[in-house]
């Protein structure tokens, strides 16, 4: 996959070599990471331009659940749209980390059983006030990658 992280290379540190490896994460692992990360960024297009909203989320099976209120930007604009949702954990100093992106359609939960189930997810939105609406991202694509640095003891040649 082409993106800012999809690259390999090395930095020379004395006689050892720091090798960066970038691995695509299997889909199940992507969901496991998403479940560990309570927060992410929801991106959608409004009036032809991208918008990004940081929100927290829960994972229910293979879908993302977000809790919100009807009067919020999130509810007013995002419902029914194609969205991309990104969560990550990145460490600038070591340049290690992971990033997962879910693409899908965002819908509101209306079924009583589904709502009861969503209320069990322990999802507390950041913004206070009445938050009696649950949105789900029904995914059609989930991608993720892991970036790691490894020290290799094979001299100082660069291969980047």
Partner 1 sequence: MAEERTGLVVLEIDECRRLLADAVIGRVAFQAYGSLELLPVNVAVDPDGTVVFRTDESSVLTQAGGQAAVFETDGFDRVTQTGWSVCVRGATREITAGDDPAAGRLLDMSVIPWAPGQRDRWFAIAPDQITGRRIPVVRGAEMGWIPGVVS
Provide CB contacts within 8 A for 61, sequence distance 6+: none
Instruction: Find the shortest distance in angstroms from Cβ 15 to partner 1.
Output: 18
Scanning residues 100 to 159, which ones bind partner 1 (CB under 8 A)? 101, 103, 124-129, 147
Instruction: Determine, following the binding rule CB under 8 A, whether residue 79 of this chain makes contact with partner 1.
Output: no
Provide CB contacts within 8 A for 63, sequence distance 6+: 104, 136, 137, 138, 139
Nearest to 125 by CA among 51, 49, 73: 73
| Contact with partner 1 (CB under 8 A) among 23, 91, 116, 119 | 91
Is residue 134 within 8 A of residue 106, CB to CB? The reply is no
Rg (CA), the chain: 19
Give how many residues touch partner 1 by CB under 8 A.
54
Instruction: Determine, following the binding rule CB under 8 A, whether residue 13 of this chain makes contact with partner 1.
Output: no
Is residue 34 within 8 A of residue 104, CB to CB? The reply is no
Is residue 41 within 8 A of residue 85, CB to CB? The reply is yes
If the CB atoms of residues 11 and 24 are measured against partner 1, the closer one turns out to be 11
Instruction: Find the shortest distance in angstroms from Cβ 103 to partner 1.
Output: 7
| Contact with partner 1 (CB under 8 A) among 27, 35, 51, 115 | 51
Interface contacts to partner 1, rule CB under 8 A: 2-11, 20, 22, 37-41, 43-45, 48-52, 54, 56, 71-72, 82-93, 95, 97, 99, 101, 103, 124-129, 147, 160
């Amino acid at each position: 996959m082409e993106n800012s992280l999809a690259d390999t290379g090395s930095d020379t540190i004395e006689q050892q070599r720091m090798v960066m490896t970038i691995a695509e994460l299997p889909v199940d692992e992507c969901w496991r990471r998403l479940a560990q990360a309570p927060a992410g960024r929801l991106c959608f297009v409004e009036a032809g331009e991208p918008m990004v909203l940081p929100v927290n989320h829960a994972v229910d099976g293979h879908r993302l659940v977000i809790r919100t209120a009807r009067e919020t930007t999130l509810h007013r604009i995002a419902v029914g749209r194609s969205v991309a949702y990104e969560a990550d954990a990145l460490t600038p100093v070591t340049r290690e980390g992971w990033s997962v992106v879910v693409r899908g359609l965002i819908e509101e939960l209306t079924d009583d059983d589904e709502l009861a189930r969503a209320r069990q997810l322990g999802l507390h939105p950041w913004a206070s006030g009445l938050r009696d609406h649950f949105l789900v991202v029904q995914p059609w694509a989930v991608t993720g990658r892991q970036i790691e640095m490894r020290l290799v003891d094979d001299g100082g040649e660069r291969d980047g």
